[in-house]
Structure 1
Amino acid sequence: MIPNTAKRHSRIHHHRHVGFTLVELLVVIAIIGTLVGLLLPAVQAAREAARNNTCKNRMGQLQKGISLRESSTGDYPGYINKLGIAGAGIANQTRASWVVMTFPHIEQTALWDRWNQGFGSPPNLTNAYSNIEILSCPSDPAEILGAPILSYSANAGFIQRDPTSESGNVTENAANGVFFDLTRVEDGNGNSTGVPGPADIRDTPGPDAKITMTPAYIQAKGDGLTGTIMLSENLNAVFWGYRSVDDYTSNAPDRKFHFGICWEQPVVVAQAPGSTPNDKLDDRARRINGQKGNAADHFGNDDISMGDMVVNDGFPSSNHPGGVNAAFCGGSLRFITDQIEPFVYAQLMTSNSKKSDLQFNGVQEKDQPQPSDADY
């Protein structure tokens, strides 16, 4: 016979609940933490891949919008253009970026009509702006709610920071890029004495006519549409249009880097720093992702004017690891590494290597080998 005490101890031992010890609990927590640490980079990478794909899709829509416009007009828009009532003076004209010129082809008809009718004097900018989804990259989110944010810039060619003509004006060369200033006035287009014709306060009479770029020129005389950049990302781009009255009434000229990306001669940065502090180009900035920022932080406040931009803002950059997305004139979209050589990047920007101003080590681009896919 088993004593009652032994039976009681046996029952107690049989029904005891076994729980985690503190050591076991800590081990489980450590394992979970390790798994989370291993999975988090993969989750972040997947999210960035999704943002990158969205970025490409939006850039592709802009690319198609420009191509649709070209199909109807026969040419590409300028990086800056003049809209409004022709011959009615500045009061009824607007200075429109390449983005505005695509509005009829990216489902922004109401905004197009608003810009195309002129802003009056003083400029009335009511209902002239909105935040358009396809104009921003998800990895470059808007920091000023409702502002006309822009993540993409057009190929505006050679940055030309200093005047290059006897009259103190910047010359242009169609072979250097794709988008040009379509508000400029040609010397001698006025009366018989050669005095430039009427211009608004920011038109620059120059020694060259307005350059109208066409795909036919790039394909037949240039480097081909598939090898010429049309658009790329730029974290330093601000807005898709001049947003403030000051931007419309100041004497500040339109600059290529307001709405465009540019290239510089690979070896002249240190030799030619620019004539003003804002024209001083940092050697690092001329590379892809050389200068990364965002609009509000870059300028130090939310009251941003396009006049706050400087020459260093005119080069591609993105928040995508390792490079930027770019749309080519031929319709392709590519990711370009930020390890690309500045000269190769410039080659992709010029539209006609046989006549461009690009050179390296004293040798003109036409005598240099053309870049291969492995170079970028």
Structure 2
Amino acid sequence: MDSRTPRRHAFTLVELLVVIAIIGVLIALLLPAVQQAREAARRIQCTNNQKQIGLAIHNYHDTFGKLPYNAVPQSGSVGDRQRGPSWLVRLLPFVEQNSAYDQFVFTGDWTMQDGPSPNAAVLGLLRVPGFNCPSSPLPETEKQNTNANGEVELQLVNYVGITGSYWQGGTSNVVSTSQQDSSYGDAVYNGMIVPVSSKSNAIRLATVSDGTTNTMMVSEQSDYFYNASGAKVDRRSSGHAGKSWGNGGGAGSWTANVTTVRYAIATEGGTGNGADYHVNIPLVSAHPGGVLITQGDASVRFLAETVNFAILTGLADRQDGNVLGEF
């Protein structure tokens, strides 16, 4: 008779718990690395999105001899309001969206809040993936009740055109003497994506006296702001009536899809920064540590949120004549 102890073929409960604990520790160690890798991939995609926007702007310039502009003065009264398209609409043929662009009628109220729009049906279907940052936690669409076209669901984008700097470029406390309009803040037209009005005209690259590598055209509004009580606030310049496709009330009024730099990155509150139709909404990004910017030569750079504010104003002002310094 064999008296030897039979061999065990199973784990004890203690051994099983030890294995689970080891696996948990390994996952805890690896998860941050995985998340960082995913964010790195998303940041690369966002960089590519802005690169394509920058190239589209250059192709627009090659075709029309000027940069895309964002607004013209509105006309008409409520019920027959004429408000134009945003600069993003003008880029559509250059980002492979010809099918939508060719259906547009360039009349009516592109904000759809005060007048009818012949484009409402097309705009309700239009989605341009390259206009959204993959890291952004913000909603990509939002429904709007229009004046004459019922309810329509429109895309909200994460990229914003730069009209200029409230402060003279290269300074942080000297108010610019460039042409400006004061309504819902102060829109200053020393930047690249400006309205067409008695105070400004669409910009030609040859007139960017600071040089295209020293001036930004586009940046991000791809994350929430946090107010004084810690609540999240979605305050993108594409968030009001007409969303991504309207230019706002036009030159000299509320704006959409553009901003004039007046505050440091991710700053909440202040004059011109109280609602999504205000003209001084800061840049903000879902990428940790700063924002991506598209410069006048269509290159894309990462700008740290701790950057000297005078450098940020210098990048926003195409004609200040100051040396930027390292950034």
Are the structure 2 counterparts of residues 22 and 169 from structure 1 closer, same or farther at C-alpha, using a change threshold of 3 Å? Answer: closer
Match of residue 53 from structure 2 = 62
Match of residue 213 from structure 1 = 203
SS at match of 2:99: helix
Q: How many pairs does the alignment contain?
A: 278
Task: Give distance in 2, aligned partners of 1:91 and 1:109.
Answer: 28
Unaligned runs of 5+ residues in structure 2 are 110-114, 143-152, 168-174, 223-234
Task: Give distance in 2, aligned partners of 1:172 and 1:152.
Answer: 18
Seq. identity, %: 28
Match of residue 162 from structure 2 = 155
The answer to which structure, 1 or 2, has the higher relative contact order (CA under 8 A, 6+ apart) is: 2
Task: Give distance in 1, aligned partners of 2:250 and 2:58.
Answer: 33
Pairing of 1:332-351 with structure 2 (within 5 A): 332-351=299-318
Identify the match of residue 218 of structure 2 among 231, 252, 255: 231
SS at match of 1:231: strand
Task: Give distance in 1, aligned partners of 2:41 and 2:82.
Answer: 41
Are the structure 2 counterparts of residues 123 and 334 from structure 1 closer, same or farther at C-alpha, using a change threshold of 3 Å? Answer: same
Larger radius of gyration: 1
User: Which residue type is aligned with residue 100 of structure 2?
Assistant: L
Task: Give distance in 1, aligned partners of 2:239 and 2:101.
Answer: 13
Task: Give distance in 1, aligned partners of 2:98 and 2:290.
Answer: 33
Q: CA deviation at 1:134?
A: 0.7
Match of residue 136 from structure 1 = 132
Q: Which has the higher helix share?
A: 1
Q: CA deviation at 1:29?
A: 1.5
CA contact (8 A) 1:344 1:371 kept: yes
Match of residue 106 from structure 1 = 95
Partner deviation per Cα, 1:247-278 (whole Å, 9 max, x = no partner)? 8998996435x2113222xxxxxxxxxxxxxx
SS at match of 1:147: strand
Pairing of 1:57-96 with structure 2 (within 5 A): 57-81=48-72, 94-96=83-85
The normalised TM-score by structure 1 is: 0.64
Task: Give distance in 2, aligned partners of 1:249 and 1:136.
Answer: 20
Task: Give distance in 1, aligned partners of 2:207 and 2:250.
Answer: 33
Partner deviation per Cα, 1:214-270 (whole Å, 9 max, x = no partner)? 11011xxx11111111110113325389428xx8998996435x2113222xxxxxx
SS at match of 1:54: helix
User: Which residue type is aligned with residue 107 of structure 1?
Assistant: E
Partner deviation per Cα, 1:349-376 (whole Å, 9 max, x = no partner)? 110113xxxxxxxxxxx4xxx2223xx2
Match of residue 317 from structure 1 = 284
Identify the match of residue 290 of structure 1 among 250, 259, 267: 267
Unaligned runs of 5+ residues in structure 1 are 1-6, 187-207, 265-285, 293-297, 300-306, 355-365
Q: CA deviation at 1:316?
A: 0.9
User: Which residue type is aligned with residue 372 of structure 1?
Assistant: G
Pairing of 1:166-315 with structure 2 (within 5 A): 176-182=190-196, 184=197, 186=198, 208=199, 210-218=200-208, 222-235=209-222, 236-239=235-238, 242-243=241-242, 254-256=253-255, 258-264=256-262, 286-291=263-268, 308-311=276-279, 314-315=281-282
2:295 pairs with 1:328: yes
SS at match of 2:293: strand
